[in-house]
Amino acid sequence: MSIEISSAPHIKGTRSVEQIMRHVVWSLLPVCAFFIFQYGLSALLSLMVVTVSCLLTERFFVRQGGQSGDIGDFSAIITGLLLALSLPPGFPLWMGAVAGIVAIALGKALFGGIGFNVFNPALIGRAFVQAAFPQAIATYTPSFMPGRFAEYIPSSLTLPLMQPVSVVEWLKDRQFDALAGATPLAKWKFEGVMANADELLTSLSGHMAVGPSPVLILLCGAYLAFRRFLDWRIPAAILGSAGLTAWILYGFDPLRFPNPFFMLFSGGLILGAVYMATDMATSPVTPKGMWVYGALIGLLTVIIRYYSGLPEGVMYAILIANAAAPLIEKITQPTPFGKGVLSNLGRQKKGASYPLHSGYISREDAGAVTPKKRFMFNKPKHPPKE
């Protein structure tokens, strides 16, 4: 008869990597469903092809060995879904598959698997296709097209290694002009037309070519933040800093720059802020670092959108901030207990039951008074009955 020994702690919280990843996948499902509702069969096929290509690549590299994690940890599914959501719905499927392979192979497997990647894998994949297929990735189609569940957007079914056919003809057949396929950001950038708030938020009223619904993403993100599956500081910092920068520029010249609301809810900023930038492995772990990291992303996004030749800037902003994350983490290490300014009596945390003050003196000193108790902020859950 023998007994086991182990080192404390002997109990363990119920949270696991699979659980975190599973919840992120679940929270993405409503976003995906709405995306499919917006764009029909092509969006469904694109989501499936990209995710399956991510999973197959992951499986290949896990089988090769030398990888941490495995296919059961749901992280490749997240990469696939996010990548597909960030691509245009009519993106040629073979290009989507290439994006998925690149995302997992170069973005994740090369670094050693889950937890070791420096850059967000989905964005690596997207950056690759952005450089390789600039034409295809800029081609959007209007949302809520009639008959979207009956036929594919013609560019989707492009044969492998072929350039996609132009959708202009196809759009003309359906009484849409060529402009209808431009995203709100591209419209603003190249034609100076700004979309309305309701079009940006839901696009239910018109046929605006927007990405996945920002409102839905915010809702799903709020659920994740509430369950602590993502850190609320990063989206808050990104949206805050992007909004603030845009607001300052807007105040400076309202004719040249769009208003902050347009800046926040157009393009992929919300998706990037809630799902891409909060990727745990590529963001700083320190609370202060998260604020710096988020603020950097917001600032870079606005600068790239306003001054570069690209309409969209979130992807590069996040990738640059990913690269800066280790450095940010290094300079924002938390202050240990008792080593900060709080450790002297001058500054106290609020919420203490008996704040220390000069009335606290010892018996030897004359006129010792017992200080009055402050209002109890930290009310216990069950007040005792006397």
Partner 1 sequence: MKLLSYFRGEAFQRGVHPPSCKLTASTRIRRLPFASKVTVPLSQHIGKTPRPIVQVGQEVVRGEPIARSDEWLSVPHHAPVTGVVEFIGLRPGVRGPWVESIVIRAHPGASQEDLWGRPRDLSDATGGDILQAIWDAGMVGLGGAAFPTHAKLTVPKQAHVHTLVVNGCECEPYLTCDHRVMVEQADDLITGIRYAMRATGAVRAIVGIEDNKPDAAVAIRAAIVRCGRIPEGEIYAELVPTKYPQGSEKMLVMALFGVEIPAGDLPVSLGMVVNNVGTLAALGKLLPAGRGLTERIVTVTGPGVAKPGDYIVPLGTPLRFVLDYAGAPGVATRQVILGGPMMGQAAASLDVPITKGMSGVLVMQGDALDWRGNQKTYPCIKCAECVESCPMGLNPAQLGMLAAKREYDLMGSDYHLGECFECGCCSYVCPSNIPLVQQFRIAKQILREKALSK
Structure tokens at 380: 């216990």
Check binding of 327 to partner 1 (CB under 8 A).
Answer: no
Which listed residue (239, 281, 302, 304) binds partner 1 by CB under 8 A?
281
Applying CB under 8 A, which part among 4-12, 148-156, 177-185, 304-312 lies near partner 1? 4-12
For partner 1, which is the closer residue by CB, 309 or 346?
346
Applying CB under 8 A, which part among 51-59, 194-202, 296-304, 327-335 lies near partner 1? 327-335
Binding mask 7-26 for partner 1 (x = CB under 8 A): xxxxxxx-xxxxxx------
Which listed residue (135, 166, 308, 348) binds partner 1 by CB under 8 A?
348
Q: Which of residues 216-235 bind partner 1 (CB under 8 A)?
A: 226, 228, 231-232
Applying CB under 8 A, which part among 48-56, 83-91, 267-275, 367-375 lies near partner 1? 367-375
Check binding of 338 to partner 1 (CB under 8 A).
Answer: yes
Check binding of 252 to partner 1 (CB under 8 A).
Answer: no
Which listed residue (1, 150, 161, 255) binds partner 1 by CB under 8 A?
1
For partner 1, which is the closer residue by CB, 309 or 372?
372
Check binding of 360 to partner 1 (CB under 8 A).
Answer: yes
For partner 1, which is the closer residue by CB, 79 or 245?
79
For partner 1, which is the closer residue by CB, 3 or 131?
3
Q: Which of residues 91-120 bind partner 1 (CB under 8 A)?
A: 112-116
For partner 1, which is the closer residue by CB, 17 or 48?
17
Count of residues touching partner 1 (by CB under 8 A): 80
Which listed residue (147, 161, 337, 366) binds partner 1 by CB under 8 A?
337
Check binding of 362 to partner 1 (CB under 8 A).
Answer: yes
